[in-house]
Amino acid sequence: MKRYHIIVEGRVQGVGFRYFCITHAKNRNLTGSVKNLLNGMVEIYVQGEEEKIDDFLAAIQKGNFLINVTNMSIKRSDIIPKEKEFSYLIS
């Protein structure tokens, strides 16, 4: 089990990116959160099996016809043992 703190840059606000992240995280049984930042970036915490996290990161990097990720900063973070779901947080 691993946990990462990710900052995503690009066209990631106002295009359904948080919902996109939630859907991909829940489909992979990952936990964590996603939140818009005031500077136009998005902050993600994701926790789970490394292979599933790698798959999640590849999916959000690829985006869709509205989402355009230009940069992702990824750092390890401390695991939250009792975290149960992936949710969005309000800025």
pTM of the model: 0.95
Would you say 6 and 73 are in contact if contact means Cβ atoms under 8 Å apart?
yes
Would you say 15 and 38 are in contact if contact means Cβ atoms under 8 Å apart?
no
Considering its fold, how many domains does the chain have in total?
Answer: 1
Please identify which of the residues 18, 28, 29, 76 carries the catalytic annotation.
18
CATH number at residue 74: 3.30.70.100
Is 36 catalytic? The answer is yes
Give per-residue pLDDT as tens, 50-67.
999 999 999 999 999 999
pLDDT of residue 90: 84
- The single-letter code of the amino acid at 34 is V
Range of the domain at 24: 2-89
Packed helices 50-62 and 17-27: angle between N→C axes, nearest 10 degrees: 150
Is 18 catalytic? The answer is yes
Please identify which of the residues 36, 39, 68, 76 carries the catalytic annotation.
36
pLDDT mean over 6-14: 97
- Mean pLDDT estimate for the chain: 96
